[in-house]
Amino acid sequence: MLRRGEDPADAGPHVQWREDPVQPSTDPRFANPRNEIWLDFTTDRNGVGVAASVVRWPVCQKTAGSVVLHVHTSTEPGQAGMAGARLACVNVDFSAG
């Protein structure tokens, strides 16, 4: 199921290996780079940036259909996983891997 839409918010919630029963997830036990897929990067003055993320759990096509780029992120309790504005969304077919 690929999530489609003009608005990056159409991508839906963050994918979590251990799903937080409270959404949106702000608990650092769930909203962290080991339980979600985070691509943290900074671009150079030309706008070029590179990031990679490896998780040790399967990404299910039923729950993941896109990659969303956010401005910043937080890791503090009550703010964990709360990223800034959604800047862009790219549909990804995770079943192809």
pLDDT at 75: 67
Secondary structure of residue 47 in the 3-state scheme: coil
Residue 91: which H helix or E strand, with range?
Answer: strand 86-91
Q: How many CA atoms lie within 13 A of 39 on its CB side?
A: 11
pTM of the model: 0.68
Question: pLDDT per residue over 28-61, tens digit each?
Answer: 899 888 898 888 888 899 989 888 888 888 887 6
Looking at this protein, which amino acid is placed at residue 30?
F
